[in-house]
Chain A
Amino acid sequence: MIEYVESKENIARRIARIFKTGDVVNLGIGLPTLVANYVPAEVTVILQSENGLIGLGPAPEKGREDKDLTNAGGMPVTLLAGGAYFDSATSFGIIRGGHVDCTVLGVLEVDQEGNLANYKIPGKMVPGMGGAMDLVAGSRVVVAATTHLEKTGGSKLKRRCTLPLTAEHGVDIVVTDVGYFEVKGSHFVLKEYFEPYTPDWIVEHTDADVQVPPDCKSWRA
């Protein structure tokens, strides 16, 4: 009997291993932001922030915040040597023009056709899409980061999204706290399962078509 235990840390750890040195990466607010903490020391990625910078560095020490330097969540950040600032049109030109290699976004729902819903629950929560629609439409690889199950136990991976879409067919990879999935055609392909979960457990607890290929392997955080 396997009991599901939410682990945002494992999601972030696995996603951090996707990048190669030189990749330009945009990390969304919330869970995706955690990914920056787990990028292996031998890999150098260049973080982009859509409010107008590349070369995002760590949070400043207390008392050293600069009112003119924030990330897309409005939090104080720093810029690494060699970084650059630009206006919003250039920033989204970088995103929409295909100059961002990988974007990592949070999820309300993601479905087996790669549709993503993450900006609106009609009548309840309508924060707005911010830069998410441009990021999904423009980035070369789109990674959806999500806990596998909702607090109520339902699957975050769906056959078909029911909430308003952020983008149609935009998602390439979904990483949850139980496995690593690729969106291929009209189903999820389980590439890795995270122990103690097993492929059988994952198929049973995913409300979507999941194919388990022969080369599906185990991964330990």
Chain B
Amino acid sequence: MIEKPVISAARAAKMVGEGAVVHVGGFLACGSPRGVLAALAELGTRNLTLVCNDTAVLDEKNGRVTGVAPLVKNRQFRKMIVSHIGTNPESQRQMNAGETEVVLVPQGTLAERVRAAGCGLGGILTATGLGTEVQEGKQVVEVQGRKFLVEEALPGDVALIKARKADKAGNLVYSKTARNFNPLMAMACKTVIAEVEEIVEIGEIDPDQIHTPSILVDYLVKA
């Protein structure tokens, strides 16, 4: 098996180019790659498009700033494609002020659009969002007597994901609810960088327990 380069968080951050579409794993920062995000915030790369479940927590009064929140605060995103911004008032402010484009996507639709991109599909058909603002500008088709919205695939340039454990080949195992969008994003982006808590020898992880196979992962970062 080919071993994957283990790189620093700073070097990982440099792989996110100006204007890139970045998929970031995590659900309210549970399962987000903290080290790589901190490095990207420090680097300050701008005009990024974020694809993530949410804009995490920005609550400076109580000392809670998590996940992508510092990057939102730095105005590093030109556009944010997310399902929830309610725990980060700054993302709501930027949206209302027209400073950042925010596309709110139902969470299940977001997951399936990412999954579709990673599976070579053009998109998915879903009843979620029919008759709501989500339907605006989208095609409605009838299949097997039911109406569906056509939701397009959502591919990315770089996936910044988090796993509990990797082997040196890049096989990944996630932990509990920190799994969420991470395995989907690992399939949907050209470059995949996985921040992991532990790196073990090839062969140490039972192949039946691997969540993301090594061929999908390009670089490892030790958390």
Contact = CB atoms under 8 A, between A and B. Distances in A.
A60 interface: no
B180 A88 contact: yes
B139 interface: no
Contact of B28 (A49, A52, A70, A89): A70
7 contacts: A68-B164, A70-B177, A74-B27, A74-B30, A126-B96, A133-B106, A169-B131
Determine which residue in B53, B57, B83 has the highest number of CB atoms from chain A within 10 A of its CB, and name it: B83
A96 B57 contact: no
B128 A134 contact: yes
Interface stretch (A2-10, A159-167, A193-201): A159-167
Determine which residue in A50, A129, A164 has the highest number of CB atoms from chain B within 10 A of its CB, and name it: A129
Nearest to A71: B177
A199 B104 CA distance: 40
B179 A87 contact: yes
Contacts, number: 150
Contact of B112 (A68, A69, A89, A168): A89
Determine which residue in A85, A130, A138 has the highest number of CB atoms from chain B within 10 A of its CB, and name it: A130
Contacts of A85: 176-177, 179
Contacts of A132: 106
Given A95-B108, A128-B83, A129-B106, A52 B177 contact: yes
B20 interface: no
Given A88-B53, A92-B112, A128-B83, A168 B177 contact: no
Interface stretch (B70-78, B181-189, B201-209): B181-189
Contact residue range for chain B? 35 or more
A130 B83 contact: yes
Contacts of B179: 52, 85-87
Nearest to B57: A74
A127 interface: yes
A139 B175 CA distance: 27
B111 A92 contact: yes
A153 B181 CA distance: 42
Given A68-B177, A126-B85, 13 more contacts: A51-B177, A52-B176, A68-B164, A70-B30, A74-B29, A96-B127, A127-B87, A127-B92, A128-B104, A130-B83, A133-B109, A167-B131, A167-B132
